[in-house]
Each structure stands twice: as C-alpha cells, then as structure tokens.
A and B are shown apart, each in its own frame.
Chain A
Amino acid sequence: MSATLTVSPAAASTATNPHTARPSFIGLVRGEFLKVSRQLTTWLMLLALAGVVVLPFLIALTVGNLKADIQAEPLADLYRFMGQGLTILRVFSGPVLIIVTARLIGMEYSSGTIRVLLGRGVGRIQLLAAKLLTVFLIAAAILAAGMLLEYALSLFVLRAVTGNLDALKAINGTFWADTRVYVATVAISMAVTILMAAAITVVARSLAGGLSASIAWFPADNIGLVFFILANLLTKSDFWLLVTGDLLGPNLNAMPRALLSAQAPGSATRVLEGPLVPVDGGHTLLVSAIYAAIFLAVAVVLTWRRDVKE
C-alpha cells in the first residue's frame, strides 16, 4: 500500500469506465476459461484422454489378422473403428467433463469466490450459464478434436496394415448417416453428464462434495444393475427389471445401438450394459431428456433461490 501511487486509474479514458461497467457475459466466459486453463490437471486429463483414444489403434496395429479382415469385410471394420473410437470418447470424456464441471462450479463455493463475483453485480443464473457454456464449449472441442484424431488414426492404420486406403471405398451413405447419429449420441451423453455434475455440485455447494458425488453417479447406476438383477431373482418380480429401463447410465449405453441402422454390426456399439429390459431409441432419448431437464431445473432453481452464505 505504497503512498506514492495514485488511487484512481492512471488513464481513465482507456480503463473500463466503472460508472458504466456492467456484468458482461462474454467476460464471464473468458474468466471461466482462464480458471480452467490455469489448472494443470485440466491439461493432464486432456493428455490422458488423447492417450486413451490412441491406444486401441496402436493395439489394432499389432493384431495379426487385421489385414485379411479388412480386405474381406472392410465396412464392418470401419464400423468397428468408428464405433470403438466414439465409444471411447463418450465413456472417457465423462470423468473429464464431470471433473471440470464440478470444479468450475464447486470451487467458487469452496473458496468463497462466489461472493466476490456476485458482489460485482453478476447474476447468479448468469454465472451458472457462463460456467455451463464454458464446459459445453470444452466438450464440443473434445468431441471435435477427438473425432479428428480418430479419423487420422483410422487412415493411418488402414495405410499401415493394407498399404492403401481402398477400404474406404466400401463406405456408403448409411455409414455416414450412422456416424452422424453416433456422434449425436456422444454429444447427448456429454451434455447430460455435464448437467448431472452441475446439479449435484450446486446441491453440494462444495468442490469435494460435488466432485465425489457426481463422479460416482455412472459407476453407481451401472453397477446398480447387478442389484436389480438380484432383486429380480429374489422377488421374482419384473418390476426391478423395468426400473432399470429408467436408469440414466444404462440408457446412455443403449442409445447408439438403439438408434443405429441395421447395417451397423453389434460389435461396433456394444460396450457397456444397457437396461435389463429392451428399450428403443425413442425411449433412451426420452429418458435422457427427462434427466437433463431435472438436472437443469435443480441447478437453476437452487442457484437462483438460495442465499449465498459462502
């Protein structure tokens, strides 16, 4: 607090004029990006995600009969590349997005900085919206970069294994349509995941609470399937199986299979278990939409109504 310096901005004309300054949504989003980018773990997680994306392609290179496979049934193998790649993006981007979301929202409560931001005149919903937009943009970037990487890797593997890119000639319109649908299911899954982490962290209003509870969600409802099977066996009631038709995780798992064309081989889409009752594409979409709406409503209403005592 040196006494030699002036208190007011040196050049008032170049500074934001505080008498007209208003909370700025773009500014908020920029601030959120600053916070995310300064977290070393954000970058480490993205690096790890890239590693997980690359890994199956490296393994593919070492599989002996891949060349014969590709030459015999090129379309099936391309479907497998696409399906595997997107499934990996979907499953492994989940924890990354959960951690980024929970941190971005939770740290404001845990460090009390929410009172600094709101004390500047920022609206609560405005702040939440800026945070959600930031994570959605990050998710979109992960999806775009991941797909680009997988496309390049696919070409690389085809080239390396067969010596040419002839397999691509097997691609038909349905393949691209299926790819678009698959990408859409990944995007939906990412969006619901972000909203889930946001809602839970807003409820918990702490970094540790929000992070641990939201990271546990998908393991819980996937592993939960086992308990529903047991309950079904013990009580002989189909009710337990029907309930699984409404679990979020299994529905997200089942969504690609349920929406893709018949041309897509099952091996391209089956990774994690779906519900224990058959569900169609419309059902998986509806269930996801309902969960998303509930998560969003919880996050918005609590953020809006609650006193900030942090």
Chain B
Amino acid sequence: MTATAPAAHRAATAPRGDEIVLRTRDLTKQYGKRLAVDRLNIEVRRGEIFGFLGPNGAGKTTTIRMALGLIAPTSGSVEILGGDIATHRATILPRVGALVETPALYLYMSGRDNLRAVAAVLGGVPEARMDAVLDLVGLRARARDRVKTYSLGMKQRLGVAIALLQDPDLLVLDEPANGLDPAGIVEMRDLLRRLAAEGKTVFISSHVLTEVRQICTRVAIVNLGRLVTESTVEDLVRGSGDFTVTVERAADALALVRAQPWGRGARLDGDGTLITPAPNNRGRELTRFLVDAGFVPDSLAPRAQDLEEVFLRLTDNGNGVAK
C-alpha cells in the first residue's frame, strides 16, 4: 500500500522527462470563421505537471475536447501516449483520466453509483478501488448521498475521483480548482504532486496563476487559439533580466543609470525601489558601477516577474475574447 512502488516500477520502464505523453501537431479547430484553435503545437512529457494557460475563449477547452476525441479537429492531430487519437481512441483513452469544464455527473444517482456507472464502461473496478478514490477526494462519508445534494466543490471532487478511477497515466484537468475551498485547493495541489511523483503526467488548464506557479513545472500560454509561449515557469518569470536595488537617494541613482547605454529601461517602482538592467546583464557589474558612483546598495537582486504580469503582457492584457 505505498505510493512509491508503482512510481519505481514506471520509472524503470519509462524514465521521466524523455517520453512525450501528449503532443499536438498543428492542431486547428475552426467554428465558422473563427479559429478557436490555430495551428497549436505543444508537447507534454511524462511526469510533468503541465499548465495550459490562457484568457477566456483562448481555446483551452476546445483543445482538450480534441485531445479526448470529443470534437474532430479541422486539421492537425493529437498524439497521446504515442498513438494518434483519431485512430486509436479505444486503446489510448482508457489510460487517460479527464475532467472537462464543469464535472458532468448523474445528479439523481449517489456518488458511488456515479463511479460505478463510469467504471462499468471499461468493465468495472473493484469496490475497494472506489473506496480508495473516494477517500482520496474526501467524499467517502457522502458517497451514498445523491449527487444532487452535493455542493459545487463536492461535485468537483467527485469529477476528480472519476478521472482518477482507473489509475490513468495521463490526467487532463480543465480548471480543476473550480469551486474548491482553500483547503481543497491545497489538497488538490498535494494530490497532483504525488501523482506526478508516481510518474503520472498531469495536464491542467487554469486561470489561477498563483496556483499554476506553485505546482506546474512547465506552462504553455495560449491566446486567441495560438500558442504564445511554452516554457518552464522559472524561465517565464525570470524574464527581463532586471534587478531590484534598494539604495539611498534612489532618484539620483536612477538619473545616473538612465544616462548609461545599458540603463535606459531603468525605473522606480511604487515604493521607491530602483528597477534597472545591468551592464552585460550581470549583477556584479551593476554593483561595481553603483559603488564606484557612490551609491552603495542596501540590497540588489535579480527581479522575478510576476506570472500575472507576464501573462497579461503575453496575452495582450488578457484581451482574448474582445477580438
């Protein structure tokens, strides 16, 4: 009964990081004249928690629906676990657990019967497994109640339980934090981390950037159906190469720095901290320059950008739907 055994097993057969678990190739979906998804190319590797970010209407759900074979791409293809989804749905999708948009449930049935009804499709799972996933999402005590009586967050949890039911290799979650309370979000985060540690791959779409920042190893940002960037979260927020400098007489320091060829982008932020590029992008040279000029910094550090800031910049202020 340990979570490490399967992880070790999988690690032996499929070293994490090499295998591409999900790949889209020029994936495109057109609704009338609107391109909901436009030549999208992304790659998700085994063991990653991959964040799929974009403003409303960016095409996240449309992409996920195509990945699950629910809607047919206008052109392009999706490969999951090495097989083309258009031709190998029946063998690939049983290994994928998914939660698309709001959890879809049989409201008149109990939580457990919902699990039964979905499990039956692949030949059923043992009761013990249902108990295990119900425990995992904290719904065991309410499993006999009709889903109609569940709160939004409880329905979301049951949706996650359904996705986990058959121990998938790839978990695709569309806005999984939807409706969860803070404790639920923390639990979800822990759960996803543990799944990833077991060698499972997690693909989540989200708007909640702090959330993404905390758990995702890599992210893709989409806007208006197009891929804007795909990179690690660190690379994304490392961004500009600016440094944050706390120094006395910051305004004078700013004037001096701006006079330098490398310092034109320097500025002061709200609380009077100097934000500036460095000569040759090196903190050491910036320090030397300031000290030589008589400005001894109290502190100097590379400036991490806010993911939110990056997101808004890359998506044109999140103006997806407006266009």
Which A residues are within 8 Å of any B CB, using their own CB? 1-3, 5-12, 14-16, 18-19, 21-24, 26-28, 30-31, 34-35, 38-39, 107, 111-123, 307-310
Contacts and interface: CB of A to CB of B under 8 A. Distances in A.
Contact of A21 (B6, B68, B94, B129): B94
A118 B90 CA distance: 9
Contacts of B105: 111, 113
Interface in B1-46: 1-3, 5-6
A116 B104 contact: yes
Given A21-B166, A39-B108, A16 B198 contact: no
Contacts of B168: 18
A18 B166 contact: yes
B120 A2 contact: no
Contacts of A123: 89-90
Q: Report the 4 A-B pairs with minimum CB-CB distance, sorted nearest first.
A: A121-B93, A1-B187, A112-B104, A31-B120
A71 to B, nearest CB: 53
Interface in B137-158: 137-138, 157
Given A119-B68, A119-B96, A28 B104 contact: no
Candidate in A3, A19, A120, A122 with the most chain B CB atoms within 10 angstroms: A120
A31 B115 CA distance: 10
Interface in B86-102: 89-96, 98, 100-102
Contacts of B3: 6-8
Given A1-B157, A1-B184, A15 B129 contact: yes
Contacts of A26: 123
B122 A9 contact: no
Contacts of A112: 101-102, 104
B122 A10 contact: no
A119 B68 CA distance: 5
A121 to B, nearest CB: 3
Contacts, number: 178
A114 B72 CA distance: 15
A29 to B, nearest CB: 9
Given A1-B190, A2-B135, A9-B132, A15 B69 contact: no
Contacts of A118: 68-70
B254 interface: no
Contacts of B100: 115-116, 119
A6 B118 CA distance: 21
Contacts of B68: 115, 118-119
Candidate in B95, B132, B167 with the most chain A CB atoms within 10 angstroms: B167
Nearest to B95: A18
Contacts of B160: 1
Given A6-B1, A16-B122, A1 B70 contact: no
B240 to A, nearest CB: 37
Interface of B: 1-3, 5-6, 65, 68-72, 89-96, 98, 100-102, 104-109, 113, 116-118, 120-126, 128-129, 132, 135-138, 157, 160, 162, 164, 166-169, 184, 187-188, 190-191, 194-195, 198
A119 B117 contact: no
Contacts of B1: 6, 10
A22 B132 CA distance: 22
B136 A308 contact: no
Contact of B106 (A27, A28, A111, A309): A111
A310 to B, nearest CB: 8
A15 B188 CA distance: 24
B312 to A, nearest CB: 29
26 contacts: A1-B136, A1-B184, A1-B188, A2-B138, A3-B190, A6-B1, A6-B2, A8-B3, A8-B6, A10-B129, A14-B128, A15-B125, A18-B95, A18-B167, A27-B123, A30-B120, A31-B120, A35-B106, A111-B105, A116-B100, A120-B94, A123-B90, A307-B65, A307-B71, A307-B72, A310-B104
A82 B173 CA distance: 58
A34 B112 CA distance: 12
A27 B124 contact: yes
A6 B132 contact: yes
Given A10-B1, A16-B166, A121 B195 contact: no
Contacts of A308: 65, 70-71
Contacts of A111: 104-107
B207 to A, nearest CB: 20
A34 B94 contact: no
Contact of B93 (A30, A34, A119): A119
Contact of A34 (B91, B117, B166): B117
Nearest to A120: B121
B34 to A, nearest CB: 14
Contact of B113 (A1, A34, A107): A34
Contact of B92 (A1, A15, A121): A121
Given A1-B190, A21-B166, 10 more contacts: A1-B187, A8-B167, A8-B198, A16-B125, A21-B123, A22-B90, A27-B120, A27-B121, A107-B106, A118-B68
